Amino acid sequence: MSRTRTAILAALALVAGASGTAVAAVAPEPGIAAVPCTVDYKVQNQWDTGFTTAVTVTNNGAAKSSWAVKWSYAGNQKVTSGWNAKISQSGTAVTAANESYNGSLASGGSVSFGFNASYSGTNALPTTFTLDGVTCNVDDGSGGGGGTDPDPSGKVDNPYAGAKVYVNPEWSAKAAAETGGSRVASQPTGVWLDRIAAINGVGGGMGLRAHLDAALAQKGSSEEVVQLVVYDLPGRDCAALASNGELGPTEIDKYKTQFIDPIAAILADSKYASLRIVTTIEIDSLPNLVTNTGSRATATPACDTMLANGNYVKGVGYALNKLGAIPNVYNYLDAGHHGWIGWDDNFAPSATLFKQAATSEGATVGDVHGFITNTANYSALKENNFTINDSVNGTSVRQSKWVDWNRYVDELSFAQAFRAQLVSVGFGSGIGMLIDTSRNGWGGTARPTGPGATTSVDTYVNGGRYDRRIHVGNWCNQSGAGLGERPQAAPATGIDAYVWMKPPGESDGSSSAIANDEGKGFDRMCDPTYTGNARNGNSMSGALPNAPLSGHWFSAQFQELMKNAYPAL
């Protein structure tokens, strides 16, 4: 159970103590000044020697251009790492000051940061917080997962908090064999179950049980997350050929009985009950039904077929139902990315369709622990050189060719906003988001150091954007891409983790047609000479040459990802 301290009024005494009783916020009586600031300090996960905490600060006073939050510990707690704040500690006193990108704190505005810390003995909650020297609170409470009651299924609020994440030894060996690859070979990546044969292992490789056994060995006495990508819907990836699957559009029964049921049986084995198993459910499937069907210029006959027969919705619902019933499985449903779902026409309809799928085939919204964005994609995590609210000479950034009327310019803002939309249509208020940062770093010499020229809205956006793709719709083996933020738990409000769900160095698709028995076609978007289609604004593909089949090791891409990593290796 997570432990919470919520700031209310500086004059309130401790009322919850160690009882674990949640305390509701109290409004000031008429004539009593409003609390100048509130601090929500949540211990999201705690183990024998450490803990992970998320902190949200709300400023009820005058707007600030910089800020610093301070508190002291009663015990021997030591902050070991943090994010979204510059955290320092002297003895028991801790100071968390703003980073360069989040110093602005409006009146009534909030800012969030987090950290990991060590301790021994008792991890007593801090009793006093100050914001720029002004006391915020002395109130105490507790609750599960972000201030809500504990999940009755026994699931934790954030499976990544306080846990190690499984390092796939097969991927790790390939990475380590590359020149310079040892720098990232110990990073955790997703295990892709992209065909029925993958359950037992392909070509002598590890199957699902072998991966779970290896995860148990890595786990030791700690908590351990295993990340699986469940990816074999009938008629899979109706708008792309490189990632087509083995099952035809009507083979929903085969999907259920030969793919999902065997996976569920293995995951339900009591041998693996101590693992936290995170599943990414069927990437790219449901978003295709929103954007690539009907009268849209981007529509394809294959997507129209899958919308009409309902097998994407049925397959996703069945997977959520069967896997969600297992107590230690955490389902995260794929939600595309900002350059796909961020437009007005796509945003709300996508959330509605996801709700439909999550309540089909016996599934409920309770079977969805969260959502994942940017899986196997390249959208920048955070664009710092421009915002959606900027304008140049009276022209909105939304009107630039790159943004093209989208509501979002990066994945973090999209994921946080889409989370709120998902809650509004009926998903649980405790859902968390994952963002795949495996290939969205966009570092190297091409990374802009500041905003673009204000000659026009296009020079402003193009000169400042980190994402250097030719078009936001480009998705295959992108030239210039780099490794992104390293996997980490609870990096921002509403985000359960940054993850490397797509293993860096595994191809998105072949640059030319390659005969294979994996059901994978040739998509011109993976051909560097292709001049594009409606889905990428008839732009060049931006793909690297000489790529192998999707999922196969692509050494040249791995080297480019390391070279352009941001943060740099």
Catalytic residue positions, numbered: 284, 508
Q: Which of 330, 485, 335 is nearest to 420 (CA)?
A: 335
Asked whether 548 and 512 are in contact (CB, 8 A), the reply is: no
Residue 96, CA distances (Å) to 66, 69, 79, 129, 308 in order: 11, 5, 11, 11, 53
Spacing of C-alpha 190 from chain mean position: 13
Collapse the DSSP code of 118 into the 3-class scheme (helix H, G, I; strand E, B; otherwise coil) and give the result: strand
User: From the CA atom positions of the chain, what is the Rg in Å?
Assistant: 24
Question: What amino acid is encoded at 498 in this protein?
Answer: Y
| Pairing verdict, β 93-97 and 68-72 | antiparallel
Collapse the DSSP code of 131 into the 3-class scheme (helix H, G, I; strand E, B; otherwise coil) and give the result: strand
CA atoms within 13 A on the CB side of 431: 28
* Residue 419 CB neighbours (<10 A): 23
Q: What is the 3-state secondary structure (H, E, C) of 32-85?
A: CCCCCEEEEEEEEEECCCEEEEEEEEEECCCCECCCEEEEECCCCCEEEEEECC
Collapse the DSSP code of 225 into the 3-class scheme (helix H, G, I; strand E, B; otherwise coil) and give the result: strand
The single residue listed with the structure tokens 């908590």 is: 223
Task: Enter the tokens of residue 508.
Answer: 């998105």
Residues 253 and 539: their CA atoms lie apart, in Å, by: 39
Asked whether 23 and 141 are in contact (CB, 8 A), the reply is: yes
* Preceding omega of 567 cis (within 30 degrees of 0): yes
Asked whether 191 and 226 are in contact (CB, 8 A), the reply is: yes
- DSSP H/E element including 318: helix 311-324
Asked whether 488 and 481 are in contact (CB, 8 A), the reply is: no
Q: Which residue pairs, CB below 8 angstroms and at least 24 apart, start in 347-350?
A: 347/407, 347/418, 347/421, 348/421, 349/290, 350/286, 350/287, 350/290, 350/418
Asked whether 429 and 149 are in contact (CB, 8 A), the reply is: no
